Amino acid sequence: MDHTEVIIRPVVSEKSYVLASAGKYTFRVHPDAHKTQVRQAVEAMFAVHVVDVRTISMRPKPKRRGVTRGKTRAWKKAIVQVRAGETIPIFAGLEGAS
């Protein structure tokens, strides 16, 4: 699997911005990607040194609009911690925006 296929996009949420200020960055990743692939992809794409990778499989949530019922998609999330002093430029400038 190519590095661009492993990392789908960064997760934009209040919790991810709080974690970004601590050097932990959150990404949506391919459901079949494992921790080693996520580590290699982040190091190759952003030129940082990864210290720790945590992955979470997000379950689908039930949603309803009127009488129509459905579910959101299941997806996989990875929280990547980089070496102290290093940052990922996608999240640069967003840590202080509250």
Mean of pLDDT values over 66-83: 97
CATH superfamily label, 3-61+70-86: RRM (RNA recognition motif) domain (3.30.70.330)
Assess contact for 46 and 15: CB atoms under 8 A.
no
Nearest-angstrom CA–CA distance, 21 and 57: 23
**Predicted model pTM:** 0.85
| pLDDT score of 48 | 95
Percentage, residues of the chain above pLDDT 90: 83
